Amino acid sequence: MQKRRLGNGGLEVSALGLGCMGLSFGYGPATDKQQAVSVIRTAFERGITFFDTAEVYGPFANEELVGEALAPFREQVVVATKFGFKPSSPGEQRWSSFDSRPEHIKEVADASLTRLQTDVIDLFYQHRVDTEVPIEDVAGAVKELIDAGKVKHFGLSEAGVETIRRAHAVQPVTALQSEYSLWWRKPEADVLPVCEELGIGFVPFSPLGRGFLTGKIDENTTFDSSDFRNIVPRFTPEARKANQALVDLLRTIADKKNATPAQIALAWLLAQKPWIVPIPGTTKLHRLEENVGAVNVELTPDDVRQINDATDKITIEGARYPAAMEQRTGK
């Protein structure tokens, strides 16, 4: 698979990564462990070298899964994990508040190293901006972890321009991970230009619109009771019906390219900038194969312009998060 560089610190990864969250958390019951291990190891066999997890996925179970699955070839892959949340109370499995105090960041790093069965975290993201802790203190704590050899690179997630600039001045930011896809293009306005200016890589999560852009979800689709999408305004039956126009467009383009809607959605992201690395997740091997195939779908500049022009005329219905969760994004 093609390789791409994130940031200016020499971090090289596969052009497509694997978001591992859904194997343990968020989209219904956790995947059978052996099946989950198989998905991760097959991804490596197909050329993926960039794997994304976090302590809150599970919680903790996803890091343990990723650590076990990648152990046989740990030195050949890049593992990203995240800090910044705290349980509602000791022993709680609900994570409703932030904690990016420097001492907590260091505690999380040590615990993640153990769960990931490794001696260094390749990319350590602040999961969400904590308005109670100056971002300079957060960047300083990660800088100390880098100096101690426990972390290689610093990342931010869902951070805004001001936060990015302030953090980068203390410790260079290697990558920003935020939602970005054909149905959520807000980063194009100001975040992507700042990443380009500062030499920061961009890692889109939910690049397939939480599965909607695959074309396999419509207004009649039902989700497991534990599936996060049940509370997402963009996934009400009415919104799904209205948003089919975007999927129809992708399907039309896919037919011309001998591809699938999902592959066109991923190829569009890859065509935006050479420092963008999407991390689609899946629990199914055939979906993994489909996603990997997107790397070989070539969209010309004219193709991209046509897609942009067409999508600009489509209004996406429904917010991407419930209101309380949307407030967690940083400035």
Q: Give the residue numbers marked as catalytic.
A: 57
Q: Residue 71: CA atoms inside 13 Å, Cβ hemisphere, count? A: 12
Residue type, 227: D
DSSP-derived pairing of the beta strands 151-157 and 3-6: unpaired
Tokens of 67: 């650590």
Listed in sequence order, the DSSP H helices in 243-322 are 244-257, 261-272, 285-293, 301-312
Note whether 58 and 25 are within 8 A (CB).
yes
Place of tokens 């089919």: 244
Note whether 54 and 82 are within 8 A (CB).
yes
Note whether 1 and 112 are within 8 A (CB).
no
Note whether 228 and 26 are within 8 A (CB).
yes
Note whether 311 and 247 are within 8 A (CB).
no
Note whether 328 and 128 are within 8 A (CB).
yes
- Cβ burial of 158 (10 Å; 0-12, 13-18, 19+) is buried
* Cα angle for residues 215, 45, 20 (degrees, 5° grid): 55
Sign of CA dihedral 119, 276, 28, 264: negative
Sign of CA dihedral 9, 42, 180, 223: negative
* Cα angle for residues 314, 316, 321 (degrees, 5° grid): 165
